[in-house]
Structure 1
Amino acid sequence: MKILIIEDENLAAKRLVKLIKEYVPEAQIFGNLDTITASVQWLESNPEPDLIFLDIQLADGISFDIFEQVKVKAPIIFCTAFDQYAIRAFKLNSIDYLLKPVDPAELVAALEKFRNGRKEPAIDIDQIRLMLGQSTKSYKNRFLVKVGERIQTIDIQEIAFFYSEDKVTLLQTNQGKKFIVDYTLDEIEDMVNPENFFRLNRKYISAIAAIKEVFTYSNSRLKIHLENCTDNDILISREKMSAFKIWLGQ
């Protein structure tokens, strides 16, 4: 097994190597790489490893920038000190998320996931960038809607939530007015600021101000009541719970 370590803290890297060697003595370990620049150069010049251990904060920036410069297919286990974000995995090729100092039992569990080909639920990289104060992406400030023969704009601050119904996408304002929009929910999810909007499930994207009540529900899920919404069965899956709680409490 060929393992690449990208980590800007030398002591953390040495400890990680020691733990990996204890569990996978046959592993070939490459690195330690401590910058985005060095990581990109290595990945461009060497065969892809079987697995990457990756810190989020490197000496010259956030490690997500690596994937904007070079294509990486290898699975990733993140190691970071950002415990307050409670992130389980990311929308790349992530296997798991380990908090530094890495717990040996958690490392073993992560390597078992890798060997068994299991992946944790993912959340969007733009959302993580936002939490880390790194988001530079621009988002829509208003949406065009058609009212009879007239076209008007709805400011993003006026939108309570977007939802799909009978293969049509609609937005509902804070006043409860509904308008058809010419985008799918998947498209809208990428257009709105994840600081203010969250994809609750396949049918709903909600503004934080529209979240009226949150209830625990059976099978480790959450039930959401939205303002001025008659749908009382809006559920958040177990896979989305952690990301939703992070978003709600940030």
Structure 2
Amino acid sequence: MKILLIEDEKPAVKRLLGLIKDYFPTSEFITDLDTVKKTIQWLRSHENPDLMFCDIQLADGNSFEIFEQVSVKTPVIFTTAYDQYAIKAFKVNAVDYLLKPIDPEELQRAIDKFNQQKLNQNLDLSLIQQLITKEKSSFKNRFLVKFGEKIQSISIQEVAFFYSEERVTFLQTHEGKKYVLDSTLEQVESQIDPTLFFRINRKYLCSYSSISDIFTYSNSRLKIKLINCEDQDILISRDKTSAFKSWLDG
């Protein structure tokens, strides 16, 4: 049995390998696939493995890009730090969906499902329905902010972008109004719909409608301008360029 571990963080690979080796003691493990590009190349030049463990957010993009470019019939157990990808995961042979840090009991249930699926080829539709219901209700629609002595609720549709400055997180509306948030940018990112907002670098999390211009930059990087933004030199991280283009094309 051949098992692929697609993960870009070495400690996570080591931990996952330690957790699953007891379940598959005679299996061959492929653990050096840490990017979308490498995985696509491997799958195109090898027979389909028996099982894949796949992190969703890789260094050079979103792992769903792999399944868009290569026909993969292998069962997949997805791993990620966020739960907003559940529906998309089940469109590509997903056996289960594990949130990091991985709970050994949850992992065992996922492996049990994989073994059962090999016997009867049935997918657990009840779990999928639960995830669909959860995903629809999991994203924030409003953010509570303070403005002087007033408390105001800002709709997600009013938000142009979020940004971090001197360890403070700000929300800026399409009208250019700024509000301080109590959350970190990482927390905000996990709370909002990833089809509407993209984390372009460590400082900015922007909506599609907030982008006024996109320019090519050196070394395959991109530079963008945001509406009503004082910062005129916003660069997209090199490791996010591919995922950003996919998001724009989504």
Q: One fold, TM greater than 0.5?
A: yes
Counting aligned pairs with the same residue, the percent is 45
Q: Residues 239 and 201 (structure 1 numbering): CA distance in 2 closer, same or farther, change over 3 Å?
A: same
How far 1:202 sits from its partner (Å)?
0.5
Give the number of aligned pairs: 165
Using the alignment, how far apart are the partners of 2:171 and 2:159 within structure 1? 7
Using the alignment, how far apart are the partners of 1:235 and 1:198 within structure 2? 13
How far 1:159 sits from its partner (Å)?
0.1
Using the alignment, how far apart are the partners of 2:232 and 2:238 within structure 1? 18
How far 1:168 sits from its partner (Å)?
1.0
Q: TM-score, normalised by structure 1?
A: 0.56
* 1:55 equivalent in structure 2: none
Partner deviation per Cα, 1:18-56 (whole Å, 9 max, x = no partner): xxxxxxxxxxxxxxxxxxxxxxxx86633385624xxxx
SS in 2 for 1:194: coil
What do you get for the CA RMSD once the two structures are aligned?
3.3
Q: Residues 167 and 226 (structure 1 numbering): CA distance in 2 closer, same or farther, change over 3 Å?
A: same
How far 1:220 sits from its partner (Å)?
1.4
* 1:234 equivalent in structure 2: 234
Partner of residue 23 from structure 2, selected from 16, 29, 45: 45
Using the alignment, how far apart are the partners of 1:173 and 1:211 within structure 2? 13
Larger Rg: 1
* 1:16 equivalent in structure 2: none
SS in 2 for 1:224: strand
* 1:160 equivalent in structure 2: 160
Runs (5+) with no aligned partner, structure 1: 7-41, 53-74, 79-87, 90-94, 108-118
Runs (5+) with no aligned partner, structure 2: 6-19, 49-57, 64-79, 92-130
Aligned: 1:247 with 2:247 = yes
Using the alignment, how far apart are the partners of 2:88 and 2:29 within structure 1? 26
How far 1:187 sits from its partner (Å)?
0.6
Using the alignment, how far apart are the partners of 1:48 and 1:155 within structure 2? 53
Are the counterparts in 2 of residues 51 and 76 from structure 1 also a CA contact under 8 Å? no
Q: Residues 193 and 219 (structure 1 numbering): CA distance in 2 closer, same or farther, change over 3 Å?
A: same
**1 or 2, which has the higher helix percentage?**
2
Are the counterparts in 2 of residues 127 and 195 from structure 1 also a CA contact under 8 Å? no
How far 1:3 sits from its partner (Å)?
3.7
SS in 2 for 1:201: coil
* 1:23 equivalent in structure 2: none
Using the alignment, how far apart are the partners of 2:174 and 2:193 within structure 1? 17
How far 1:221 sits from its partner (Å)?
0.6
Q: Residues 129 and 148 (structure 1 numbering): CA distance in 2 closer, same or farther, change over 3 Å?
A: same
